[in-house]
Amino acid sequence: MIKKKRDIIKSLATHPKDVGSTEIQIGLLTDKITKLSEHFKKFKKDKHSTLGLTKSVNKRKKLLSYLKKSNSESYLKVIKQLNLRK
């Protein structure tokens, strides 16, 4: 978990001490969303966690639209690196 989080931060950081930029937040949310999706494949009736998944998806969507407006180059890089839109 921690190793994967460090790898995500390292791969998306805009400068060496970057730990909270929009790109990193999007990467961490994407990781959380994939983990929750895997969880729902096993536990279909877990309705409480669906709220967390919905909130995470919406937050990522807002961050992506903000990034697209503010820095389109970085937006394209993040989309390509995280395999989000085809």
Kindly report the average pLDDT of the chain as a whole number. 91
CATH value at residue 45: 1.10.287.10
Query: Is 12 domain-assigned?
Result: no
More confident residue, 35 or 1: 35
In angstroms, the CA 26 to CA 46 distance is 24
Query: Is 69 domain-assigned?
Result: yes
Instruction: Confirm whether pTM is higher than 0.75.
Output: yes
Q: Which of 78, 76, 83 is nearest to 22 (CA)?
A: 78
pLDDT at 23 over 60: yes
Six token digits for residue 10: 């390292």
Q: Which of 3, 2, 21, 27 is nearest to 78 (CA)?
A: 27
Tell me the residue range of the domain where 33 lies.
23-80
Mean pLDDT in residue range 10-20: 88
